[in-house]
Structure 1
Amino acid sequence: MLDTSTAKTCPAHAPADHPKLPAQKVGILLANLGTPDATDYWSMRRYLNEFLSDRRVIDYAPWKWQPILQLIILTKRPFSSGEAYKSIWNEEANESPLMTITKSQTTKIKAAMHAEYGDQVMVDFCMRYGNPSTPSKVREMVEAGCSKILFFPLYPHYAGATSATANDQFFRALMKEKWQPTARVVDPYFEHPKYIEALAQSVERAYGAMDKKPDILVCSYHGVPKRYLMEGDPYHCQCQKTTRLLKERLGWDDTQITTTFQSRFGPEEWLKPYTVDEVKRLAEEDGKKHIAVIAPAFSADCIETLEEINEEIKESFEEGGGERFDYIPCLNDDDAHIDALSTIIGENLGGWVP
């Protein structure tokens, strides 16, 4: 993905024996959550161990958490998680859908950036967990002459367990560099007009292809423990604002759209309402027989959308008496999404490139 073939030259006015250096560029490093390399037990265990050992994700004291993780969770969960990944795995490319989609997003953004800025910029992607790792891609960019790096976590909404841990890993990578590049981090874009427009277009396109409009649109966001909100994490508020802005752009009222949270883990209370329970309640108590679900917090379809929403959450809705369940895919590499991301990148490159 990254072109490191640029010829190296001596800096102007340097002595003849000065080491040759690549031409200086601005690196644009996209970052997503990550993916296991394969679905077998050991690949899944390595990935889950890295993910669930992150104190941003599970902030319990290591002396309490690690014995539970190593001796109980990681002896069983790699099998069940592996089966879940197998159900969505891209067999042709031998990779997860998240990897396939992130590669496509990067290719399209790279084309847009090169059309705008030419060889002044270099575009690549990394993962917080698994491969390609953040440190490996920072190292490649520095070696390729990137004296400045714009780091872009592909999470519309800020959360400690997503944006913050991605940033942590990026800055840890910078700590290893003798000559650190200047760095910028892209802000969350949960209210950016082009992101909201891309979401709205995806809903309008999906609804336009249906013979009957759903009774309600469920905006299902990845959950976090409620305690994180009480401790100052802005994620919940940003999710609510995205739903409101989407509702306003679509010209709907409150009865046509709702916000829920999915992917609970552990014993404590998480943000509510829980998607898996709410869709069942919508069918049982509110008589909603046809719903659509969208996942605005995910920039690319992954295990939480393709497996959890399309299987577990759909089953819960049907158990409650629901009849038709439509999942609206993530924005993925849709042109409107690529345009939104490219616009955000351009706004954050101010002063770095003409």
Structure 2
Amino acid sequence: MVPQAPSPPLPAGHPPVKTPRVGVLLINLGTPEGTDYWSMRRYLSEFLSDRRVVEVPRLIWQPILQGIILTFRPKKSGHAYAGIWNRELDESPLKTHTREQALLLSAAMAARHGDGVVVEWGMRYGHPSTAAALERLTAAGCERILLFPLYPQYSATTTATACDQAFRALMAMRRQPALRTVPTYHDEPAYISALATSVRDHLAGLDWTPDLLITSFHGLPKAYLEKGDPYHCYCLKTARLLREELGWTADKLRHAFQSRFGRTEWLQPYLEPMVKALPEQGVKNLAIMAPAFVSDCVETLEEVNQGIRETFLTAGGQNFTYIPCLNSSPAHIDLLVRLTERELGGWV
């Protein structure tokens, strides 16, 4: 921490004054509290009501969402979550990984900065909420807080809405802390290195060699790109830098976009039709990773590792492997520490 001059004694009767500290808030997307219909409906209603996520006018969108989509989708989504649910802790893997990342980052920061830095975690949708996490930080004496949205590739639908939610929470505070936000880190050398390490370590454990690695990124409506969202460009740069770090030729690594929702055109190429066509193109051994997700979740564990795996093998593929997200790997925690300390410059 930056040294501060000692304060004079407080006058008699003055309320206690907390020792000033710095807070770090890790923010991820969110998770339902259970796999049942009503838990899923509450979560999906909050998520799909976000105007950063769905830009259709509310008067048009809400009747469709509440009357049609949320009648049927919670059951389907609940089934997907049930297949990957952490039954030991009765929570989604995303919540498990985010908590562990916060605990490990907290331990690393304590070892380097003592008790002057407090690390918390929260979700944009669901629990623990962003507002509750901010309340815990301010209650701990944090007068300066770094918001750390856990999205390497910035998008208004992820990074921006996470910050929006934090800003809304601050609007209710009489005494607001000073804020900073972590910028996009899609091309951060330590991030690219961590991805490359995860690829090398995973492939070293196989008894076969992939013909192709696909970097699968979460999709986005094409219209959002046309309106100025830089996410598409950041994803392609991440994929290119990873390929260069691995020393591979262009034919060994491709990118694709997954999780399309609705009938409008999204960013292409789409993952599922790409994978389905690969065996006829001579690709019989396939590896997939999801660099835009720092924690394994329903989109990676169910959609990719189960659904896309089945698509590839049914189409004639022979071997399929999914390379896990960075999760709580040492390289990822080191990356979080590096980014946190860089963005806390002058505060610690």
Instruction: Report the TM-score when normalising by structure 1.
Output: 0.95
2:197 is aligned to 201
Q: For 1:222 and 1:245, how far apart are their aligned partners in 2?
A: 18
Q: For 1:283 and 1:180, how far apart are their aligned partners in 2?
A: 57
Instruction: Render the CA deviation track for 1:296-316: whole Å, top value 9, x for unaligned.
Output: 000100000000001221222
Report the RMSD for the aligned CA atoms in angstroms: 0.9
1:242 is aligned to 238
Does 2:303 correspond to 1:280?
no
What's the secondary structure of 2:278's corresponding residue? Answer: helix
After the TM superposition, which residues 40-119 of structure 1 pair with which residues of structure 2 at under 5 Å, given as runs?
Answer: 40-119=36-115
Does 2:314 correspond to 1:334?
no
| 1:125 paired residue among 121, 144, 149 | 121
What's the secondary structure of 1:213's corresponding residue? Answer: coil
Residue 46 of structure 1 aligns to which amino acid in structure 2? R
Instruction: Render the CA deviation track for 1:7-58: whole Å, top value 9, x for unaligned.
Output: xxxx634321222122110000000001111111111111000000000111
Residue 20 of structure 2 aligns to which amino acid in structure 1? Q
Question: Number of aligned pairs?
Answer: 342
Q: For 2:92 and 2:23, how far apart are their aligned partners in 1?
A: 26
Q: Post-superposition shift, 1:281?
A: 1.6
Gaps of 5+ in 1: 1-10
| 2:306 paired residue among 297, 304, 311 | 311
2:346 is aligned to 351
Q: For 2:115 and 2:175, how far apart are their aligned partners in 1?
A: 22
Q: Post-superposition shift, 1:93?
A: 0.6
Does 2:206 correspond to 1:210?
yes
Q: Post-superposition shift, 1:317?
A: 1.4
2:259 is aligned to 263
Q: For 2:225 and 2:310, how far apart are their aligned partners in 1?
A: 29
Q: For 1:68 and 1:12, how far apart are their aligned partners in 2?
A: 61
Residue 331 of structure 1 aligns to which amino acid in structure 2? L
1:4 is aligned to none
2:315 is aligned to 320
Instruction: Report the TM-score when normalising by structure 2.
Output: 0.97
Identity of aligned residues (%): 55
Q: For 1:324 and 1:12, how far apart are their aligned partners in 2?
A: 69
1:163 is aligned to 159
Residue 178 of structure 2 aligns to which amino acid in structure 1? T
What's the secondary structure of 1:205's corresponding residue? Answer: helix
1:292 is aligned to 287
2:4 is aligned to none
Gaps of 5+ in 2: 1-6
Instruction: Render the CA deviation track for 1:208-229: whole Å, top value 9, x for unaligned.
Output: 1111210000000000001111
| 1:19 paired residue among 15, 38, 47 | 15
